[in-house]
Amino acid sequence: MKRNEEKKSPAERCAGASGGDKSLTYSVFLRGLALDVVVGVLPEERLAPRRIILEVEAVCAAPADPAADDIRTVVDYRLIRQAAADAAAGTACQLVETLAARIADAIVAVPGVREVAVTLDKPGALEACESVAVQIVRRRAE
């Protein structure tokens, strides 16, 4: 990587291929991210954390030089996972929609992420259903 590239933020380094074409993107997927949180309206749901499962698609700016094979030019998916975990930690939301929105807001704030879709599954929430799920989509304000 050139020395002037090292001074740029990840978002600047991920400005897009072909001379900074901002229309080029790629997606990072996190599948089956399990977190233990307090979420629910019913009093018995608020007694202890329960397992939720996240599916995340983060649309990211394409790296200026994909052939560089340099993690500093892409969005590090560990940052996406950490943003989700940090947003969920210590929360006690009643609604899965609220929790999913908080997680999506945290992920879209990760440098280089342009848009995110977060699907939050709450297994066992309804009888005769494997899970109940919501999906929240957030776009970075330009």
Q: Which residues are catalytic?
A: 122
> Phi/psi at 132 (nearest 5 deg)?
-115, 140
Cβ atoms of residues 64 and 21 within 8 Å: no
Residue 55 identity (one-letter amino acid): E
* Rounded distance between C-alpha atoms, residue 74 and residue 142, angstroms: 19
Between strands 92-93 and 25-39, the pairing is parallel
